[in-house]
Amino acid sequence: MKHAFEPGSMMKDEAASRMGSAPGRAGGNFVLLRADSLRLLLPQHDVGAAEYIEHELRTTARPGIYEHGEGTSLRQVVALSGDMTALKSFPAGRFVLASLGAGERPLSFAWSEVQVLIDVQFERHPLPPAMQEAGAPIDGFVERDGGLVFCTTAERVVSYATAMGN
C-alpha cells in the first residue's frame, strides 16, 4: 500500500487517539465457530455440544432451514453465509453441528470447524460507531491467526439469521 501524502497536523494527537480507540481485554472460555471464511467467537456457555452431521439433511418448507436426524435427535439446521444469513442451498464442507441458544428447541448451525478455547485472553476491538447498526449481529472483533474473528452471542446469531431468512 502506498501513502500519497503525509499526515496532517492532527497526528500530534496520536497518543490521545490510541487511548480512545484502544481495544479492551476479554478473557474466559469461548468457542470459535467457522463457516467457510466467516469466523465467530461466542461465549462457551452459548454453544451446545457439537455433533457430526451423520445423516443427509432434509429441506423443509422454510427456505434456509434444514432437518437432521429423527425423533428426539431431530435438529433444525441453518448454514450461515459469509454475511451471517441463512443459505438457501446447503454448502459443501459443513460437517459439524452446534446448537445455539436456549429454550426447548434450540436451533443448530452447520459449521466447517468448531474450536473450544479454554481460559484464553483476547484484545477485543469494539466495532467502529459507523458499523453499529441497530440489530447488527456483531459487536466487536478480535485478531487471530492473521484474520478477524467476530464477537457475537447465540441470541444475536439466531435472531439475525432467522430474521434475514424471512
Partner 1 sequence: VDTRLPEAPPDEQRAPARLLEYKRGAYVAFAAHATIGLIDGPTVVPVPGAPYYCLGLMAWQDRWLPVIDLNTLLRAYAEPEPPPAGHVLVLAYQSEPGQPLQYGAVCAPWLVTMVEVADRQQCGLPRDSDLWPWFALACFEYDDHPVPVLDAAQVFGLPQGRY
Which parts of this chain interact with partner 1 (CB under 8 A)?
A: 1-11, 13-14, 16-21, 38, 82-84, 125, 127-138, 141, 147-148, 150, 160
Q: How far is the CB of 159 from partner 1 (least distance, A)?
A: 11
Closest Cα to residue 126, out of 98, 144, 150? 150
- CB of 101 closer than 8 Å to CB of 45: no
Q: How far is the CB of 67 from partner 1 (least distance, A)?
A: 25
Nearer to partner 1, 71 or 135 (CB): 135
Nearer to partner 1, 14 or 145 (CB): 14
Nearer to partner 1, 76 or 85 (CB): 85
Compute the distance between CA of residue 136 and CA of residue 131 in angstroms, rounded to an integer.
8
Q: How far is the CB of 160 from partner 1 (least distance, A)?
A: 6
Nearer to partner 1, 9 or 89 (CB): 9
Instruction: Please count the other Cβ atoms lying within 10 Å of the Cβ belonging to residue 69.
Output: 17
CA distances to 48, 58, 69, 160 from 77, in Å: 13, 9, 10, 15
Q: How far is the CB of 93 from partner 1 (least distance, A)?
A: 19
- Partner residues linked to 116 by β-bridges: 31
Chain-centroid distance of CA 11 in Å reads: 35
Main-chain dihedrals φ then ψ at residue 104, nearest 5 degrees: -70, -35
